Structure 1
Amino acid sequence: MRNHTVTTFVLLGLTDDPQLETLVFIFLFLTYMLSVTGNLTIISLTSIDSHLKTAMYFFLQNFFLEIAFTSACVPQYLYNIATGDKTITYNSCATQLFFTDLFGVTEFFLLAAMAYDRYVAICKPLHYVTIVNHTVCRRLIIGSWLAGLLIIIPPLSLGLKLEFCDSNVIDHFVCDAAPLLKISCSETWLMEQMVTVCAVLAFIMTLVCVVLSYVHILKTILQFPSAQQRKKAFSTCSSHMIVVSISYGSCIFTYVKPSAKAVNKDVTLLTTSIAPMLNPFIYTLRKKQVRQAFNDAIKRIALFSKI
């Protein structure tokens, strides 16, 4: 985003109503704190508890990107509301856009990698330990980050050449590609096409992996002889399926209705604040191992404090 006369942008936010803004501030502050606390708790438990050393929890350790993702935009908006200063510098806006896109795209690839993990666990349980070992997990995680970076580099490279001459008002509460393109005085057709192609590429690639994994999983589960086995298998995948539905559903809404400003703001609010808060609970709420690890950690802390 090359800058000629515009040195700062103005973020309009979610609302102009001061009372409603106060409620938004409280809501975002609480969801942000819960998101950071919940994700840090899961990361800590999976790091220290020997019972949580499976591949799925190894993947969850890398969901520190949930903390990074929400931290890339929510604190800035909280600051804007608290101070009444809705401006954001050009460099801060570009940095925010880079990191939110990187973390968002990387999460899709991590979800695809986790779908593959569930596929092996359900369809090839006897070979699970040998197929999904630590080396494979590390490669999948590194590959997810590299894929996310490679996907966002082309549009961001073009974005750095955009000029902003007249308007500097962004009709959003974060620096997002769509509202930035609308206020640019450059020719944006190529940039818009590049953004669409890269977004669709990341979406389709990861969605195909997820769908193929769950097609095989469903076929395998339906062949189980007992209802108890089927229930246990579905329970194993349910958390991941819920998170996948939220992530892909929000993405579909954004690109099916790109002109609906209110909808896009609501979807962005869901993905940047609510989803990162819910994910730790969705993944671990029904997991006895995690609840047990949490109870053990509390007991150790209580014992240590007495000493």
Structure 2
Amino acid sequence: MLKIGYLVSGGIITNYKCSSKCKHCCYSSSPQWPDDYMTPSMADEIFSTLRRLSCRSVHIGGGEPLLKPDKILPVLEAASRNGVGIEYIETNASWYRDETSADAVLKDLKKYGVHTLLISIDPYHNEYIPFWKVKALMAACSRVGMGVFPWLMDFWSDIDAMDDSRPHSLDEYARLFGQNYLARLSKRYGLNLKGRALKTYKSMMKKQSFEQVLEKSRPCRLLSGVYHFHVDLYGNFVPQSCPGLSIPLSELAKGADPARYRVFYTLETAGVKGLAELAMKEYGFNPQAEYAGECDLCYDIRNYLVLERGLNLPDLKPEGHYRYV
């Protein structure tokens, strides 16, 4: 069985819809996603399961979880009811409009046990969100006594060198700081090169032959990792290393059938080599000559299964991860 007996630390994805379509987003969030948000009943089920698995606190992210502040309050209430603490809420500050409305949202969050916002501070987000909103939200947090977890202050001076009244493209940053800025940005940020981040940086990565990738293939043991996992609004357990792969948390807690989740199980036990063999033998997958490593090959296979073959595979959810990259 595919089973998890306990979980240590992770996050809740309340929605995939986002105000931005950042080039570094490993979850492929964007405005294109359906306007779905975690329901109170799903939140109750998730937090009660997490508590049974000994997970006592989580962070909340998206998408942009504060696009609909009224929708997040029942989620926070469910967490409190089940004895799961909220470490912080991630936000890109796009929802900020004025002092009065921002203060009201922050005060509501505090009433429900939230004491820290992780506020995104990086050039990727600045392509969509003017820096004045970030500054204004930080000031609002200071006014109401909400803690700020700035992610990452290392980029403050870069962004502050620009006009803070409007967004700025990464091309503008490259013109100001050098043509290799995008490549350096990835290392400074410490990106997880999955989802849209892989699409952004794949052309800069060293290529290997298909055969070389298979030779280096190892079982993907991180798929059932107990650190930095996520659970999304549909109740899916999303592994710490691989968005776009999922198994319902409720099934993993009891023991999921490997025969039902063949992609997940094959990757965990036989790595991308096993997945490639499965895809070629049963689904007619035709590999490219070269790939930028194992993850690139894995995504090529999964994109083929979801987008080209149109297969409704239970462990390649949500499909938006592939459609809206």
| Fold similarity call, TM over 0.5 | no
* Superposition TM-score, scaled by structure 2 size: 0.26
Greater RCO structure (CA 8 Å; 6+ sep): 1
- Could you say which structure has the higher strand fraction? 2
**Structure number with higher helix proportion:** 1
